[in-house]
C-alpha cells in the first residue's frame, strides 16, 4: 500500500472556520458557489435529494435515477487566477454545513505523475482512487452519508490530457485510462465521494473525461460589477469616494485590447501593492492607486482557456 502522503498534498477536514472565511472572500462567484454546493451535495449525499423528492415529487423515481446515476465528477475550467482552485479547496465547508456532515478534501499531488517509469503513473493514480474508495466506503450507510470525500485534481490537464494527442506517451495514455476507471468506479459503487478537476486548458482534457462530467463550471475574469464588489469595501474604508472607486474599477478592467485583472491579480497583487507602496510613511492616495493600476500588467490569459457554449454562472 502506498503512503497517502505521497499521493496527496495534504488532508483537509470540513467544516472549518478558516475555509469558511476563505470561501466568503471569493466575491463575485456567488453563482458558482451555490451551483457547486448543490451539485456536490447531491453527489455525496443522495438522502438530501430523496427528502426533497418525497416532499415535492414523491413518485418521480425516474427523475431521481437520472440525477443519482451521474458520474461524480465536476470540472472547473477557465483562465488563470479566476478563483477555480480556491473555490475547489473551500467548497467542502459549504457542503458540510448544508448537509450536516464532515467532508474530507484530498488534493492529489502532481507527483502522482511519477518519474516516467513504466506503469508508475497508472499505479499511483489507481492507488489514489483506492484510498478515496476506502475512505468513502467507511462513511456510507445505505442512502445516508455519515460524511463525504472530495478528491481534488488541480492542473488536471497535466494528468488527464487527451489520448488523441499524437505525441502522447504510452505511460500517459495508461494514466488517463486509470483516471477514467477510477471515476467510473466511484460512480458504479455510488459512494459518498466526488472528484473536482481544475484546469486552465479545458480543450486539452481527454474527451472521455469531459463526457463524464456531471457539471462543467466556467470561470471568467471578473467583470465590472464583480470588480466593484471586490474593491469597493476595501477602498471605501480608506476614504475613497464613489467616483474614485469607480475610476479604480475601470482601471483594472480590459484596456487597449488587453485582458482585465484576474481575481488573484486584484487580491494578491493590486490590493497588497497599494499597501506596500504607501507603507510606512503615508496614506494610500487615489491618484497613486490609479497609477499603480496603470503600471501593473494583468496575468496573460491562456489562449485555449475560452470555452464557448457554456454558461459562466
Residue 91 in contact with residue 14, Cβ under 8 Å? no
Looking up residue 111, the CATH number of its domain turns out to be 3.40.50.300
pLDDT number for residue 312: 41
Kindly state whether residues 210 and 228 are assigned to the same domain.
no
Quick check: is 248 in a domain? yes
The residue out of 180, 197, 219 marking a domain boundary is 219
Kindly state whether residues 105 and 169 are assigned to the same domain.
yes
Kindly state whether residues 96 and 170 are assigned to the same domain.
yes
Kindly state whether residues 61 and 208 are assigned to the same domain.
yes
Residue 155 half-sphere exposure toward CB, CA atoms < 13 A: 7
Kindly state whether residues 188 and 206 are assigned to the same domain.
yes
Kindly state whether residues 63 and 195 are assigned to the same domain.
yes
- In the chain, the number of structural domains is 2
Kindly state whether residues 204 and 237 are assigned to the same domain.
no
First to last CA, the chain: 41
Kindly state whether residues 173 and 279 are assigned to the same domain.
no
Quick check: is 305 in a domain? no
Kindly state whether residues 184 and 266 are assigned to the same domain.
no
C-alpha cell at 2: 502506498
Kindly state whether residues 210 and 246 are assigned to the same domain.
no
Kindly state whether residues 45 and 185 are assigned to the same domain.
yes
The parts of the chain modelled with pLDDT lower than 50 are 118, 305-313
Query: 229: domain range?
Result: 224-295
Task: Please give the C-alpha separations between residue 202 and each of 106, 126, 177, 306, 307, in angstroms, as whole numbers.
Answer: 22, 23, 18, 8, 8
Kindly state whether residues 235 and 170 are assigned to the same domain.
no
Q: What is the DSSP letter of 206?
A: -
Measured distance CA(14)–CA(41) in Å, rounded: 14
Measured distance CA(240)–CA(283) in Å, rounded: 11
Going by their DSSP bridges, the two strands 193-199 and 147-153 should be labelled as parallel
Amino acid at each position: 500500500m502506498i503512503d497517502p502522503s505521497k499521493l496527496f498534498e495534504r488532508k483537509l477536514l470540513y467544516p472549518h472556520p478558516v475555509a469558511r472565511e476563505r470561501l466568503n472572500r471569493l466575491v463575485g462567484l456567488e453563482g458558482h458557489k451555490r451551483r457547486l454546493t448543490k451539485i456536490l451535495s447531491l453527489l455525496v449525499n443522495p438522502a438530501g435529494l430523496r427528502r426533497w423528492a418525497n416532499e415535492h415529487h414523491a413518485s418521480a423515481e425516474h427523475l431521481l435515477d437520472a440525477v443519482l446515476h451521474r458520474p461524480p465528477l465536476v470540472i472547473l475550467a477557465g483562465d488563470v487566477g479566476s478563483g477555480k482552485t480556491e473555490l475547489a479547496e473551500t467548497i467542502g465547508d459549504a457542503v458540510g454545513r448544508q448537509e450536516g456532515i464532515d467532508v474530507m478534501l484530498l488534493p492529489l499531488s502532481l507527483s502522482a505523475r511519477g518519474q516516467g517509469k513504466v506503469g508508475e503513473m497508472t499505479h499511483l493514480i489507481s492507488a489514489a482512487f483506492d484510498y478515496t474508495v476506502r475512505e468513502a466506503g467507511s462513511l456510507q450507510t445505505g442512502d445516508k452519508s455519515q460524511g463525504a470525500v472530495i478528491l481534488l485534481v488541480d492542473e488536471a490537464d497535466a494528468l488527464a490530457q487527451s489520448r488523441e494527442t499524437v505525441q502522447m506517451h504510452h505511460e500517459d495514455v495508461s494514466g488517463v485510462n486509470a483516471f477514467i476507471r477510477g471515476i467510473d468506479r466511484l460512480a458504479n459503487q455510488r459512494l459518498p465521494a466526488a472528484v473536482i478537476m481544475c484546469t486552465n486548458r479545458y480543450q486539452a482534457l481527454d474527451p472521455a473525461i469531459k463526457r463524464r462530467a456531471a457539471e462543467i463550471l466556467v470561470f471568467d475574469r471578473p467583470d465590472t460589477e464583480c470588480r466593484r464588489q471586490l474593491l469597493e469595501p476595501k477602498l471605501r474604508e480608506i476614504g475613497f469616494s464613489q467616483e474614485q472607486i469607480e475610476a479604480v474599477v475601470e482601471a483594472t478592467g480590459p484596456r487597449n485590447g488587453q485582458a482585465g485583472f484576474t481575481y488573484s491579480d486584484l487580491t494578491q497583487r493590486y490590493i497588497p501593492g497599494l499597501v506596500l507602496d504607501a507603507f510606512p510613511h503615508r496614506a494610500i492616495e487615489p491618484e497613486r492607486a490609479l497609477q499603480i493600476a496603470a503600471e501593473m500588467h494583468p496575468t496573460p490569459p491562456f489562449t485555449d482557456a475560452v470555452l464557448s457554449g457554456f454558461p459562466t454562472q
